[in-house]
Chain A
């Protein structure tokens, strides 16, 4: 009689996790770490009195731990700590914004592609194919070059390229979800299409896109780093991790920390976001 292998009720991982009252440590750890980074960026003026732009050639290339310069100074005698803190403002803003925009655009397009199909899907998917056919950096660099240097150009360039990933992820999930019986039930009960899409499908398909977005933030920070390295990023002298790495690389053998410290910052941000992503998966599966 049973054609479906009914899951054994006794093995239902969700009930078990629920009953054991396990806290989502991963999620909280990630959120705490990320919150600390954001707070440090927001309250940078309180954490350091040094001006990130203030040059002082007399105090150039101080090692970390020097009095008044906790993380030392760079080639031009600027305080590394304050540059890191102020740089975080730029990098986090660009990183997050350059992901939120493509996440929204890509998810909406993916939702519609998966739901409507037909000519709309064909056109959007061919567009996706075209964007994907170019290497990521080639397209981003070309766009930034065309739009001119600056953070605004970076947003636009990364968004214009980044949406394809979200579009594909969400479209694939919608194709599966729309044939699930709960979606059929929603259609059969006569709910309007927008409501089915937003209330019934989106919450069930968006998780993967959000998880991908977490790693994508790191990727877009790295993109800024790369662009800065190529001289297409944030205009000097404003502090930014990418340009700090690029500048520090010249003296990697003598002052290794100049490139390493901003690099570590990128790693820590990446770690925080990865923890959040893992935690979100756990959190969603728990419910």
Chain B
């Protein structure tokens, strides 16, 4: 794996996309969800309940033609982040920019077209009561993307684009397999001719052989239509294949970001190391690379964040601002500086890699 890591520019011609303008950006984005209190309690004005900080200060920038992989485990906030960027939730704080224009409030009808999403679940992401043709026609008509007379042709073009037969237009979602449904989902997103495609776990529910076809399709479409893509996934191996750059999320914050091969080849944040090391490798011993604290899996608590309302949650007292790095309870190399939360710090060297870890500034000691 080191061979690729050393030569990112050769394996990644798109990495030069760094010179192209930004199509999508967020600055210090926060998305908190109020834990709903009974209305009687709200009337009584009892003490406010601490909100769930799903996204807690994220800054990102996506350039034209670039694919950004957003990885993290369940509950890290990656889906919330992508849905907030899409405009499905109004952000608690922070700025979202589409092609340099700041979004204030919800996106306008024209702005909606700019960013579109391919959803995760092939079984619930399509309206079961509408045929594929109705679904696409509705979008084309409402956004007046093509003249009315051209709608049928455009629908057929979209089917060709995602590799489905034109007869598919007359059918309802139930009549398709999982992989075909994801193709329909992609066609729906492309109908609006977006600049940015967000793929939210778009291949996670598929079998590996089908997963590969959908990934290949997304990569082809990206090149063909000059799209930019945010590829959200918990699957490190898939993200590695697709992305030019990755951002690793942990409990609402980005803990590491950089060119894909740099991050995979030389991860800097202890969490990234754990995450990459934990991916099961063919014919390798299961705990071989699973991180220092996991050498004896039974000796240590697994450190998986438990539900915040659980009396057994290690994070209950430690979570949030003023309580230091959020990975500290699981971190094998935590030291005294970790009691304050680090921002993303640039790594020394020419690759634009950053990690939210104090060890970046003090590379000596046990973390070297």
Q: Do chains A and B touch in the complex (CB under 8 A)?
A: yes
B142/A184 in contact, CB under 8 A: no
Contact A189 B188 (CB under 8 A): yes
Q: Does B333 contact A (CB under 8 A)?
A: no
Q: How far is the CA of A190 from the CA of B139 in the complex (A)?
A: 9
Which of A181, A190, A203 touches B125 (beta carbons < 8 Å)? Answer: A181
B12 at the interface (CB under 8 A from A): no
Give chain A nearest CB distance to B104 CB in angstroms. Answer: 16
Query: Is there contact, CB below 8 Å, between A122 and B117?
Result: no
Chain A positions within 8 Å of B120 at CB level: 4, 181
Q: Which B214-238 residues have C-beta < 8 A from chain A?
A: 234-235, 238
Q: In angstroms, how far is the closest chain A Cβ from the Cβ of B236?
A: 10
- Is B192 part of the binding interface, using a Cβ–Cβ cutoff of 8 Å? yes
Closest B residue to A179 by CB, please name it: B124
Which residue of B124, B142, B143, B178 is within 8 Å of A9 (Cβ)? B178
Distance between A6 CB and nearest chain B CB, rounded to angstroms: 6
A187 near B178: Cβ-Cβ < 8 Å: no
Q: Is A186 an interface residue (CB 8 A)?
A: yes
CA distance A15 to B171 in the complex (A): 12
Contact with B along A202-244 (1 / 0, CB 8 A): 0110000000000000000000000000000000000000000
A3 close to B126 (CB less than 8 A): no
- In Å, the complex CA distance between A122 and B40 comes to 11
Q: Is the CB of B88 within 8 A of A188?
A: yes
Interface-central residue, B120, B127, B238, by most chain A CB under 10 Å? B127
Contact of A152 with B by CB under 8 A: no
In the complex, B119 has a CB within 8 A of chain A? yes
Residues of A within 8 A of B74 (CB): 3
Q: Which residues of A contact B174 (CB under 8 A)?
A: 12, 14-15, 287
When the two chains form the complex, which single residue of B116, B121, B124, B235 contacts A188, counting CB atoms closer than 8 Å? B116
Contacts of B338 in A (CB 8 A): none
**Inter-subunit contact A1/B204 (CB<8 Å):** yes
* Cα distance, A6 to B107, chains bound together (Å): 34
> In the complex, are the beta carbons of A195 and B128 less than 8 A apart?
no
- Which of B239-276 touch A at CB < 8 Å? none
Partner of A3, one of B86, B87, B175, B205: B205
Main secondary structure of the interface of B (DSSP, over half): loop
A186 near B86: Cβ-Cβ < 8 Å: no
Q: Is B39's CB under 8 angstroms from A4's CB?
A: no
A-facing mask of B119-161, CB < 8 A → 1, else 0?
Answer: 1110111111110000000110011000000000000000000
* A191 partner, pick from B119, B138, B201, B204, beta carbons under 8 A: B138
Question: For the complex, what is the distance from the CA of A182 to the CA of B129, rounded to whole Å?
Answer: 11
Q: State the Cβ distance, A117 to closest chain B Cβ, in Å.
A: 10
- Residue of A1, A12, A186, A287 ringed by the most chain B CB atoms within 10 A: A1
| CB-based contact B207/A189 at 8 Å | no
* Interface residue total, chain A, C-beta cutoff 8 A: 30
CA distance A186 to B128 in the complex (A): 13
- Residue in chain B with minimal CB distance to A192: B142
Q: Which residues of A contact B129 (CB under 8 A)?
A: 203-204, 287
Whether B17 sits at the interface, judged by CB under 8 Å, is: no
Cβ contacts under 8 Å, A287 to chain B: 128-129, 172, 174
B128 and A199 contacting across the interface, CB-CB below 8 Å? no
Residues in A neighbouring B88, C-beta threshold 8 A: 184, 187-188
A185 touches B206 (CB 8 A): no
Question: Is the Cβ of A122 less than 8 Å from the Cβ of B172?
Answer: no
Chain A CB within 8 A of B177 CB: yes
Whether a CB of chain A sits under 8 angstroms from the CB of B83 is yes
Whole-angstrom CA separation of A191 from B124 in the bound complex: 18
Q: How far is the CB of B98 from chain A (nearest CB, A)?
A: 13
Given A189-B192, A287-B172: A180 and B113 interface contact (C-beta under 8 Å)? no
Contact for A7 among B117, B123, B201, B211, CB less than 8 A? B123
**Cβ A9 vs Cβ B177 within 8 A:** yes
> Which residue of A3, A7, A189, A195 is within 8 Å of B116 (Cβ)?
A189
Contact A195 B125 (CB under 8 A): no
Within 8 A of B (CB), among A133-161: none
A-B contact pairs, 13 of them (CB 8 A): A2-B207, A3-B204, A18-B175, A180-B124, A181-B121, A181-B124, A184-B83, A185-B119, A189-B116, A189-B191, A189-B192, A199-B130, A287-B129
Q: Residues on B close to A: CB < 8 A?
A: 39, 74, 83, 86-88, 107, 109, 112-113, 116-117, 119-121, 123-130, 138-139, 142-143, 172, 174-175, 177-178, 185, 188, 191-192, 201, 204-208, 211, 234-235, 238
Q: List 18 other contacts, CB 8 Å, given A122-B39, A185-B126.
A: A3-B74, A3-B204, A3-B205, A4-B121, A4-B123, A6-B123, A6-B206, A6-B207, A7-B123, A9-B178, A182-B124, A182-B128, A184-B119, A185-B188, A188-B87, A189-B192, A190-B192, A195-B138
